[in-house]
Amino acid sequence: MPECQNCGTFVTADYARVFTPDGIDDPRVCPSCPDVIRDGATVREARSKRRN
């Protein structure tokens, strides 16, 4: 099962298929990552905090 490279949380195969490039199984960040987003080839802290 795919897992987030940032926090280690398991994600669904559908989430990984949509949010990762072809040939990569594990996304760099997921919805469980607090205030972190993808930025090009890296991961960075969000400029505005997520609402919960």
What is the rounded CA–CA span in Å between residue 38 and residue 19?
10
CA dist 10 and 51 (Å) reads 21
- What is the pLDDT, as a whole number, of residue 12? 93
pLDDT of residue 37: 75
Domain that holds residue 50: 1-52
Number of folded domains that form the chain: 1
**Residue 45 clears pLDDT 90, i.e. is over it:** no
Average pLDDT in the 33-48 region? 77
- Determine phi and psi for 48, rounding to 5 degrees: -120, 140
* pTM reported for the whole predicted model: 0.67
pLDDT (tens digit per residue) in 1-39? 899 888 899 999 998 999 888 888 898 888 888 777 777
- Helix, strand, coil percentages, rounded to 5, for the chain: 15, 20, 65
- Report the pLDDT value the prediction gives residue 11, as an integer from 0 to 100: 93
